[in-house]
Amino acid sequence: MRLESNAALQIQKPIEEVYEGIVNPEKMTNYFISESSGFLETGKIVSWKFPEFNERYPITNIKLENNRSISFVWDPETVVNITLEKLPDNSTLVRVNENGKDLSEDNLKWALSNSGGWANFLACLKAYLEYGIQLRKGAFDFMRKD
């Protein structure tokens, strides 16, 4: 049995703005990561740094379908799939699925934690794109390992 982490949220912005908000590091550093080595692009490898961790995380196997989907690997055991759906009111439904880990006690904890993490990602994306608010700023300072 494979475990997966899922989250979904509707964002009151056109699909093009939401897609740009995810692939563009200048946007992502305002709500999710603190640094990126570049845009998410098919076939490219980038690295992300989060404000609460000292490590950099390689983002590999990037596959994009313009204004429809974003897929990548940041944990060698899992694949992240982000899909975008344009809704009739011109808002965007964003779904995140991360999957690939086998069932075990540790991986079950991972799935629960990452489901919350992806829900947080979506809430931060929504707050930033709709209202210019940076929800993540200072939110995870307690996790720092300085």
Q: For each of the domains in the chain, give its residue range(s) and CATH number, in order of start.
A: 2-138 (3.30.530.20)
Query: For residues 106 and 121, what is the distance between their CA atoms, to the nearest angstrom?
Result: 22
pLDDT in the model for residue 72 = 98
pLDDT in the model for residue 137 = 72
The SS3 of residue 65 is strand
Q: Which residues contact 50 (CB under 8 A, 6 or more apart)?
A: 32, 33, 34, 57, 140
CB 47 within 8 A of CB 37: yes
pLDDT in the model for residue 18 = 98
The SS3 of residue 78 is strand
pTM value is 0.92
Phi, psi of 62 (to 5 degrees): -70, 130
Mean pLDDT by 10 residues, the chain (146 residues): 93 98 97 95 96 90 98 94 98 97 92 90 97 80 62
pLDDT in the model for residue 54 = 85
The structure tokens listed for 117 are 């993490």
pLDDT in the model for residue 53 = 82
Residue 2 DSSP one-character state: E
Which residue type sits at 143? M
Query: For residues 113 and 143, what is the distance between their CA atoms, to the nearest angstrom?
Result: 14
